[in-house]
Amino acid sequence: MKGTLKLGSVAGIKIEVHWTFTLLLLWVVFLDIQRGGNLSSAILNIIFILLLFVCVVLHELGHALTARRYNIATRQITLLPIGGVASLEKMPEKPGQELLVALAGPAVNVLIALLLLAVVPLRVYLGMDAESLEQLINAPSIETLLFYLLIANIMLVAFNLIPAFPMDGGRVFRAILSFTMDRTKATEIAASLGQVLAVVFFILGLFYNPFLVLIALFIFIGAYGESKMVKQTSLVEGHVVAEATLTNITVLHPDTELSEVVDIIIAGSEKDFVVMDGNIIVGLLYHKDILKNAKNVSLKVRDIMNTQFKALRASAALQEFFNLLAGERNLFFPVIDKKGSLIGAIDMSNVSEFLVLKAQATSGI
Residues near Zn ion, by CB under 5 A: 105, 168
User: Which C-beta is closer to Zn ion: that of 157 or that of 216?
Assistant: 157
Nearer to Zn ion, 111 or 280 (CB): 111
Is the Cβ of residue 107 or residue 213 nearer to Zn ion in the bound state?
Answer: 107
Closest contact distance (angstroms) between CB of 88 and Zn ion is 11
88 or 285: whose CB is closer to Zn ion?
88
Q: How far does Cα 39 stand from its chain's mean position?
A: 36
Least distance in angstroms from the C-beta of 168 to Zn ion: 4
Number of other CB atoms surrounding residue 224 within 10 Å: 15
Nearest to Zn ion of 64, 193 (CB atom): 64
Report the nearest approach of Zn ion to the CB of residue 171 (Å).
8
Q: How far is the CB of 105 from Zn ion (least distance, A)?
A: 3
Contact present, 77 and 21 (Cβ < 8 Å): no
Q: How many CB atoms lie within 10 A of CB 308?
A: 6
Distance CA 223, CA 228 (A): 9
Q: Supply the minimum distance, in Å, between the C-beta of residue 87 and Zn ion.
A: 12
The distance of closest approach from Cβ of residue 241 to Zn ion in the complex, given in angstroms and rounded to an integer, is: 31
Q: Tell me the C-alpha distance between 343 and 270, whole Å.
A: 16
Query: How many angstroms separate the CA atoms of 342 and 297, rounded?
Result: 28
Residue 312 contacts residue 241 (beta carbons within 8 Å): yes
**Closest to Zn ion by CB, 125 or 159:** 159
**DSSP for residue 242:** G
| Residue number closest to Zn ion, CB atom | 105
E runs forming strands in the chain: 4-10, 13-18, 74-80, 83-88, 251-252, 273-277, 280-285, 312-313, 332-336, 342-347
Nearer residue to Zn ion within complex by CB, 168 or 347 = 168
What is the distance between the alpha carbons of residues 306 and 159, in angstroms, rounded to a whole number?
A: 42
Give the residue with the Cβ less far from Zn ion, 95 or 105. 105
Give CA–CA dist 205/203, Å, rounded.
Answer: 5
How do the residues of the chain divide into helix, strand and coil, expressed in percent and rounded to 5? Answer: 60, 15, 25
Q: How far is the CB of 10 from Zn ion (least distance, A)?
A: 16
Are 110 and 98 spatial neighbours (Cβ–Cβ below 8 Å)?
Answer: no
Residue 119 C-beta: closest distance to Zn ion, Å: 25
The least distance separating Zn ion from the CB of residue 4, rounded to whole angstroms, comes to 19
Instruction: Using the minimum distance from each CB to Zn ion, give the nearer residue, 169 or 344.
Output: 169
Among residues 330, 322, 323, which one has the least CA distance to residue 351?
Answer: 322
Integer Cα distance of 311 and 228 in angstroms: 26
Burial 118-144 (b: 16+ CB within 10 A, else e): eebeeeeeeeeeeeeeeeebeebeeeb
